Amino acid sequence: SSNNHNKEHLYKILVIGDLGVGKTSIIKRYVHHNYSPNYRATIGVDFALKVLNRDQETVRLQLWDIAGQERFGNMTRVYYREAMGAFIVFDVTRPASFEAVTKWKEDLDSKLTLANGKNVAVVLLANKCDQGREVLTNNGIKMEQFCQENGFVGWYETSAKVRKKGHAHKYKARLVFKRLV
Ligand code: GDP
Ligand code: MG
């Protein structure tokens, strides 16, 4: 760069989880500040770029939005390559999407390791919290414990749809995404 004081970083971050949990919607909310209820399934992989300007540096988050059915194919190994962090998303109204979380984590950890031999940092997102908390309350899951036992660095309740005042503390996209960089 022409400016010696301005450092640039590019980070690849994966957003994975079952079909329909809201991966694309979370990214749209974060990058484009909007939400659309029209369902349009991701095919293969979509990309979005979020630029964060900090004091002396520019951070580019390259968000890889991977179609939910891909875990059943062999392409994830290619998609995961060189990622430095990931979000695994589930839908709080669909228990099966929560059960799939550990399968996504296993798929990721088995196919991607950092140069230092460690697994990448993964944050768990409990999405559609505007719809209730069924999965979080009905089966006695302690999320902190679940995260510890399954190697997540943390979890957040999110809603790509609703940004009510009462929800504000639950959906801090900036904080959530920054957690990985
Ligand atoms: P993806 O397959 O994981 O990318 O899921 P999408 O982002 O395409 O979302 C699937 C459906 O769920 C769409 O109809 C979205 O409008 C809806 N959706 C996504 N996020 C939320 C949310 O936070 N709350 C509600 N109520 N609906 C959501
Ligand atoms: Mg999608």
Complex ipTM value? 0.99
Strands 57-66 and 45-53: antiparallel
Residue 1 — pLDDT band, cuts 50, 70, 90? very low
For residue 105, give Cα distances in angstroms to 16, 69, 75, 122, 148.
9, 15, 15, 8, 13
Looking at ligand 1, which residue's alpha carbon is closest to its atom 24? 128
- Is the distance from CB of 30 to CB of 173 less than 8 angstroms? yes
Q: Sheet holding 7-16: strands in order across?
A: 45-53, 57-66, 7-16, 85-91, 121-127, 154-157
What's the CA gap between 45 and 56, in Å, rounded? 32
Which one of the ligands is nearest to 164 CA?
Answer: 1
pLDDT at 68: 67
Residue 157 CA to ligand 1 centre (angstroms): 14
**What residues does 138 pair with on adjacent strands?**
none
Indicate the pTM of the whole model: 0.88
pLDDT at 16: 94
96 CB-near residues (< 8 Å, 6+ apart): 18
The tokens 């329909």 sit on which residue?
20
Query: For all residues of the chain together, what is the average pLDDT?
Result: 83
Looking at ligand 1, which residue's alpha carbon is closest to its atom 9? 22
Residue 119 CA to ligand 2 centre (angstroms): 24
Looking at ligand 1, which residue's alpha carbon is closest to its atom 19? 22
The tokens 């031999």 sit on which residue?
117
Ligand 1 interacting residues, C-beta cut-off 6 A: 19-25, 37, 39, 41-42, 68, 127-128, 130-131, 159-161
Residue 18 CA to ligand 2 centre (angstroms): 9
Q: Does the pLDDT at position 22 exceed 50?
A: yes
Residue 138 CA to ligand 1 centre (angstroms): 22
pLDDT digits (tens, 9 = 90+) for 144-178: 899 999 999 988 888 888 875 555 444 455 556 66
Q: How many helices (H) and strands (E) does the chain have?
A: 6, 6
Strands 57-66 and 121-127: unpaired
